[in-house]
Amino acid sequence: MLRLSLGLVTVFAFSVIIFSTFSFLPGDFATEILGQSATKSAVKALRAELGLDKPPVTRYFDWLGNVFQGDFGSSFSGRSKVQGDQGDRSREVVGLIVPRLKNTLFLTGVAAMLAIPLSLILGISAALYRNSYYDRSATGVSLVTVSSPEFFTAYIFILLLATLFPVFPTISNVDEASTLAERFYRTALPVFTLTLITMGHMMRMTRSAIINILSSEYIEMAKLSGASRYEVIVKHALPNAWAPISQVIAINLAYMLIGSVVVEYVFNYQGIGRLMVGSVYNRDLPVVQACALIFASTYVILNLIADLIGIISNPRLLYPK
């Protein structure tokens, strides 16, 4: 309960930071859209219409109040009266974000499904055969993948799997009509990229969490009571390793989501990350704020889940004295 309320406070604090940061950005949507030659009065009129003339504190609370009602406001771009456009092109931020969010969640979800089991298996087996050639090469390679920036990894994949051996497409555009198989095929490269950049960290942390536990006395005791290698790892070490492992998975899933900003851009994938970058470029504040808030809440939620797993897997916390 305490954790939950702390999480809410974090999200709230984040909303303040997000809002104020974007308020201080130089220039605003009005000057951006009307161009250099716009008359002062035109800029003023547009600002009034968008509500940009109100003091920041008022704007913040208006925005926050609406967010609580599930209304993230309307996107600045595509407003009905801009430049005398007659058609009603006003776009709700929610309507804009949801399909993009689905795409991003699909991308990161698939990557997570690939990365988590793989890194657990690799981490556990590396711990099991510690200091073997297998362990050394696995930890070595993982260090390289962790250290390379995601765009670099992405370009390497493009070079290998799209240009030299054209197996997968470089552009991952999907739409509502794409079938599931099509989606998998088209998103293969971004999924690989996300998997690779997060797997190293998860694998290494799993390995060290297990190795840490393997040196404890109850592991020696388990060995001396005749437990096999497999039993020692799976029955005795792993249950005590869930807490640190779930923490590192949470961090990496959050990292994956943030990493998707770059990866989506590279592969031109219609996800929330790309939307955010585009909106920042256009000074489209409502959209940027909504995206940032989603990222922040995801981070908090993932950490809450990790804490919860930590509690459930630890009888000390679950069953007090």
Partner 1 sequence: MTLNKSKELLLEMKNIHIDGFSDERWHKILKGVDLTLHRGEILGLIGESGAGKSTMGKAAMGYTQPGCKIIKGEINFNGIDLAKLTEFEKRKIWGTKISYVAQSAAASFNPAHRLMDQTISAANRLKINPTDVLKKDAVQLYESLQLPDAENIGDRYPHQVSGGQLQRIMTAMAMSPRPELIIFDEPTTALDVTTQVEVLSAMRSIVDKFNTAAIYITHDLAVVAQMADRIKVLRYGEEVEEAETRDMLSNPKEEYTKSLWSVRSLIKPEETNEDYMLSIKNIDAAYGSSKVLHNVSIDIPKGKTVAIVGESGSGKSTTARVITGLLPQLKGEIIFDGKKLSPKLEQRSKEELRRIQIIFQMPDTAMNPRQTVDEIIGRPIEFYQGIKGKEREVKVIELLKMIELDETFLDRLPSELSGGQKQRICIARALAANPDLIICDEVTSALDQIVQEGILKLLQKLQKDLGVTYIFITHDIATVKAISDEIVVMYQGEVVEQGLKSKILNPPYPDYTELLLSSVPEMDPDWLTNLLNKRSS
Q: Binding partner 1 by CB under 8 A: which of 58, 137, 228, 268?
A: 228
Q: Please report whether residue 217 would count as binding partner 1 according to CB under 8 A.
A: yes
Least Å distance, CB 241 to partner 1, is 10
Q: Binding partner 1 by CB under 8 A: which of 16, 167, 221, 311?
A: 221
Least Å distance, CB 249 to partner 1, is 19
Q: Please report whether residue 230 would count as binding partner 1 according to CB under 8 A.
A: no
Q: Please report whether residue 126 would count as binding partner 1 according to CB under 8 A.
A: no
Q: Binding partner 1 by CB under 8 A: which of 70, 84, 225, 230?
A: 225
Q: Please report whether residue 240 would count as binding partner 1 according to CB under 8 A.
A: yes
Alpha-carbon distance of 291 to 273, in angstroms, equals 8
Nearer to partner 1, 214 or 306 (CB): 214
Nearer to partner 1, 136 or 229 (CB): 229
Q: Binding partner 1 by CB under 8 A: which of 239, 281, 308, 312?
A: 239
Nearer to partner 1, 141 or 227 (CB): 227
Least Å distance, CB 139 to partner 1, is 19
Picking from 186, 192, 196, the residue whose alpha carbon sits closest to that of residue 270 is 186
Q: Binding partner 1 by CB under 8 A: which of 216, 234, 268, 312?
A: 216
Of 77-85, 109-117, 137-145, 311-319, the window that binds partner 1 (rule: CB under 8 A) is 311-319
Least Å distance, CB 130 to partner 1, is 10
Least Å distance, CB 236 to partner 1, is 5
Alpha-carbon distance of 280 to 111, in angstroms, equals 26
Q: Please report whether residue 204 would count as binding partner 1 according to CB under 8 A.
A: no
Nearer to partner 1, 20 or 228 (CB): 228
Q: Please report whether residue 308 would count as binding partner 1 according to CB under 8 A.
A: no
3-state secondary structure the chain: CHHHHHHHHHHHHHHHHHHHHHHCCCCCHHHHHHCCCCCHHHHHHHHHHHCCCCCHHHHHHHHHHHHHCCCCCECCCCCCCHHHCCCCCCCEHHHHHHHHHHHHHHHHHHHHHHHHHHHHHHHHHHHHCCCCHHHHHHHHHHHHHHHCCHHHHHHHHHHHHHHHCCCCCCCCCCCCCCCHHHHHHHHHHHHHHHHHHHHHHHHHHHHHHHHHHHCCHHHHHHHHCCCCHHHHHHHHHHHHHHHHHHHHHHHHHHHHHHHHHHHHHHHCCCCHHHHHHHHHHHCCHHHHHHHHHHHHHHHHHHHHHHHHHHHHCCHHHHCCC
The residue assigned the tokens 């990229």 is 193
Q: Please report whether residue 314 would count as binding partner 1 according to CB under 8 A.
A: yes
**Residues interacting with partner 1, by CB under 8 A?**
215-218, 220-228, 235-236, 239-240, 313-316, 319, 321
